[in-house]
Chain A
């Protein structure tokens, strides 16, 4: 039973560039949430996708956008990267739109220089 997978593992980008992170949910899950975890902090909710629509959004600027595909996988896009965007980006999957256990992937470590 495959768990949540994310790619790439690490990424180094320059300020002003754009980045796309990818996530495949756990088998049987149809909801994907994205979190940003700065060093020494707890994860902060970015947004959640269910049925290919953004259902919830946290306090993040429009530079952060996403997409969910028919196979439930998801992408997180960040435009005009800032130094402050450097963080661990975590993808979590769950079943349904309700409050269920969210299972996390290993994350993508993004460094903006």
Chain B
């Protein structure tokens, strides 16, 4: 079974602070894929990143960075120097390679509010 846990329901920060969103996953598949999506108030899910289980290199894209650690089954997301426009719900998702290939399993999301 695939499962994603985002323990942080809500996070509030002041602009320019760094913030880390936690994601812990469970899977029996040896090959799997992890994703982060952003959902602004408009409702549309915006794709941010996909990471393959065999690639543990961390990734940085502008103010965004992702830390993938198989040893702790975590795929955390850090926003550096947060901005008001970063306010949204962020979802971590998992997809396996087995019988559920192509199906995304989402966590419950973390509501991030960035205050000016």
Say yes or no: B102 contacts A31, CB within 8 Å: yes
Say yes or no: A42 contacts B107, CB within 8 Å: yes
Enumerate chain A residues within 8 angstroms of B50, measured Cβ to Cβ: 100-101
Report how far A48 CA is from B43 CA in the complex, Å.
Answer: 21
Q: How many residues of A contact B (CB 8 A)?
A: 29
Across the interface, B103 reaches (CB within 8 A) one of A40, A58, A105, A106, namely: A58
Q: How many residues of B contact A (CB 8 A)?
A: 25
Q: Mark B35-64, 1 if CB is under 8 A from A, else 0.
A: 101000011111100100000000000000
Across the interface, name the chain A residue whose C-beta is closest to B50: A101
Q: A33 in the interface, Cβ–Cβ < 8 Å?
A: yes
Q: A71 in the interface, Cβ–Cβ < 8 Å?
A: no
Q: Mark B62-101, 1 if CB is under 8 A from A, else 0.
A: 0000000000000000000000000000010101010011
Say yes or no: A45 contacts B104, CB within 8 Å: yes
Report how far A44 CA is from B96 CA in the complex, Å.
Answer: 15
Enumerate chain B residues within 8 angstroms of A43, measured Cβ to Cβ: 45, 91, 104, 106
Report how far A31 CA is from B51 CA in the complex, Å.
Answer: 20
Q: B33 in the interface, Cβ–Cβ < 8 Å?
A: yes
Say yes or no: B43 contacts A88, CB within 8 Å: yes
Report how far A107 CA is from B91 CA in the complex, Å.
Answer: 16
Given contacts A42-B91, A99-B33, A99-B97, contact A107 B103 (CB under 8 A): no
Q: Mark A54-89, 1 if CB is under 8 A from B, else 0.
A: 011010000000000000000000000000000010
Q: Would you list 18 pairs from A and B whose C-beta atoms are within 8 A, ordered by A residue?
A: A31-B102, A33-B102, A33-B103, A41-B109, A42-B4, A42-B108, A43-B104, A43-B106, A45-B105, A56-B102, A56-B103, A97-B101, A101-B47, A102-B104, A104-B37, A104-B44, A104-B46, A104-B47
B contact residues vs A (CB 8 Å cutoff): 4, 33, 35, 37, 42-47, 50, 91, 93, 95, 97, 100-109
| Given A31-B102, A101-B35, 8 more pairs with CB closer than 8 A | A42-B106, A45-B103, A56-B103, A99-B101, A100-B50, A102-B47, A104-B37, A106-B42
